[in-house]
Chain A
Amino acid sequence: MAVLAHAEAGEIAARLRAISLPGHQDLREPENGLVMLRGRVGGDGAPFNLGEATVSRAAVRLASGEIGFGYTLGRDGQKARLIALCDALVQSPEFGAAVERDVIAPLREQLMIRRKQSAEETAATKVDFYTMVRGEG
C-alpha cells in the first residue's frame, strides 16, 4: 500500500478504470487532519516531536463487506478515498489479484523508475578521492 501513498490521485483513478468496480460506499468521508511526525534523538535514540504534517484519511466498504482504510500525507481527500477503496479491494478474493496486477504493480514500477533516476543522478555527485603522487616518480 506504500506504493499508493506515493502516487497521485489521478494516477490511481486512471489505473482503477481498468477494473469494473463492485458496489462500495464511504464508511468514513475523507477527512483532513494532522499527524505529529517524530524523530529520534541522535537518529536512533528516544523519540521527540519534530513537527506536524497534513494527512488525509478515508474508509470505504465494499458491498461484499470488506473494509478498506486510506491514509496519505497531504490534503487530497480523493486520494485517501481511492487508497481506501484499493485497500478494500485487495482484501476481496474476487478483486485482490486484479488490483495488484492493474493498479499497484504498474504504479510500483513507475515509482521504481523515478527512484532509480533520482538515485543515478545522486550517484553522479559521489566524490572519487585520489591521492596526489609526490616526488619525481
Chain B
Amino acid sequence: MYVAVKGGERAIENAHRLLANARRGDQGVAEVSLDQISEQLGLAVDRVMSEGSLYDRELAALAIKQARGDLIEAIFLVRAFRATLPRFGASEPVDTGAMRVRRRVSATFKDIPGGQILGPTFDYTHRLLDPSLAEGFVPEAPATSEASSAATPRVTDILGRDGLIETSPQAEEGASVGDLTREPLNFPADRDLRLQNLARGDEGFLLAMGYSTQRGYGRNHPFVGEIRFGDVEVEFAAEEVGFAVPLGSIELTECQMVNQFKGSATEAPCFTRGYGLAFGQSERKTMSMALVDRALRARELGEEALAPAQDEEFVLSHSDNVQATGFVEHLKLPHYVDFQSELGLLRKLRKEFAEASAEANAPDAMKEAAE
C-alpha cells in the first residue's frame, strides 16, 4: 500500500543538487564530453544501446554521463526517452550476410571462405594492466593490408548447403512480428518474442544463464559456428515514398551457435542452432543470448526442460534489468503504512504469545505458591 505523504520537498531538491555536484566531481578535473564517452568508452555505449533497446550513440553517451557511469541507470534513462518519440514503423530485416565485416571468427572451421578476421579484440591480450594508458597514450597507426573482395558467407550457410544443420525457421505467410514493447509478454512465447526479449535482456543475467547450460543445467553442447561484428545497412519502407529508403548503417554483432544434433526415424540427424544479435560490438552478450536462445528451444526440440535456462517463463520474466531494478529498488521507497500494519500484527501476536505462555505457566506457579 502506498500513501501520499507531504514533506521532504526541500530535502529532495537539495539531494538532487548534491547529486549534480557528485556527478561533476572535482571541478578542477576536466569535464568528460559525450564524444569522449562515445569514442573512448564505446563498449559501454554499445551495451546501453543494446539493453536500452535504442540505437543512438549520442543519447547513450549522454545517459552514461547523466547516470555517473551506472549502466543500468543509463539504460533506464534511454528506455524512458524512447517512450517520448513517435514510431515511424519497422525497418526491413537487416541482412547480416552482407555485413561489412570488421571481425569474424569461427571456432568450428579453420578455413572458412573470407578467412578468420580478428578485428579489434581483447582476445589474446594478456589482461595485464597497462600503465602507459594512464596518460598521453598515442597508439601506433593500424596496420593495413590489401582488402580482399571475397564474400564472407555465414558459416551456418556453408553447413546448411550439405544439410548438416537445421535451416532457420521462415515466417508464415502474413504472420505479424511480435513486439513486446506493444503487447505484454504471454507464455508460451514464440521465438521472435523470445529473441526480442533476449536482445534487450541484461548481459549479466544472460551470461549467468548461458554459463549454467555449460555447467550442466540444460546442457546443449555448443560450438561457436561464427561471431561477426561490423556495419550493416538499414532500409525503411516509408509509405509516402513507396519504396525502401536507406537510413544509413548500424554496427551489429551476430553469434551463430552450433549445437548438439537431433534426428528422428523420419529426419536425418543434423546440428541445431542458437542465435544472438545485438547492437554494437557485444560479443559476450550475443554468445550468451545464443546459448539461452538454444536452451529455450528445449520443448520445441523434444528435450527434457528441467533447468532454469530452459524455463521460458523464468528466463524471459527476469531478463530485463529495468523491470528488475524497478522492483528491487522500489523497496527503498517509503513503506511506512505497510510496515506499521506488519508491526501492529507482530505486536498483537507477541502479546497473544506472552498471554498463552503466562497461562501455561500459571498452574505451576500456583502449585509452587501453595506448597
On A, residues with C-beta under 8 Å from B are 1-2, 5-6, 31-55, 57, 59, 69, 71-75, 115-127, 129
Contact = CB atoms under 8 A, between A and B. Distances in A.
Given A69-B238, A71-B238, 11 more contacts: A34-B85, A36-B87, A38-B94, A41-B191, A43-B168, A45-B169, A48-B178, A48-B196, A120-B145, A121-B142, A122-B103
B370 interface: no
B53 A43 contact: no
Contacts of A123: 117, 144-148
15 contacts: A2-B248, A35-B90, A38-B92, A38-B177, A42-B156, A42-B275, A47-B192, A50-B278, A53-B234, A53-B247, A54-B85, A69-B245, A75-B58, A118-B100, A120-B146
A117 B236 CA distance: 28
Interface in B104-156: 110-111, 115-120, 142-148, 154, 156
Contact of A37 (B91, B146, B238): B91
Interface residues of B, number: 82
B68 interface: no
Contact of B117 (A71, A126, A129): A126
B171 interface: yes
A31 B87 CA distance: 11
Given A33-B87, A50-B199, A39 B93 contact: yes
B192 A74 contact: no
A113 B55 CA distance: 25
B85 A51 contact: no
A43 B58 CA distance: 27
B50 interface: yes
Contacts of B34: none
Contacts of A5: 246-248
A42 B167 CA distance: 8
B200 interface: yes
The 4 A-B residue pairs whose C-beta atoms are closest, nearest first, are A45-B168, A42-B168, A119-B147, A2-B246
A54 B55 contact: yes
Contacts of A115: 100
Given A49-B179, A51-B55, A41 B275 contact: yes
A1 B102 contact: no
A127 B109 CA distance: 13
Interface string B186-222: 0000011101100110000000000000000000000
A33 B87 CA distance: 6
A51 B52 CA distance: 8
A50 B143 CA distance: 34
B170 A45 contact: yes
Contacts of A38: 90-94, 177
Contacts of B200: 51
Nearest to B102: A122
Interface string B309-329: 000000000000000000000
Contact of B88 (A34, A47, A48, A124): A34
B110 A129 contact: yes
A28 B196 CA distance: 32
Nearest to A36: B90
Contact of B94 (A37, A124, A127): A37
A26 B363 CA distance: 96
Contacts of B302: none
A34 B90 CA distance: 9
Nearest to B101: A122
B352 interface: no
B234 A126 contact: no
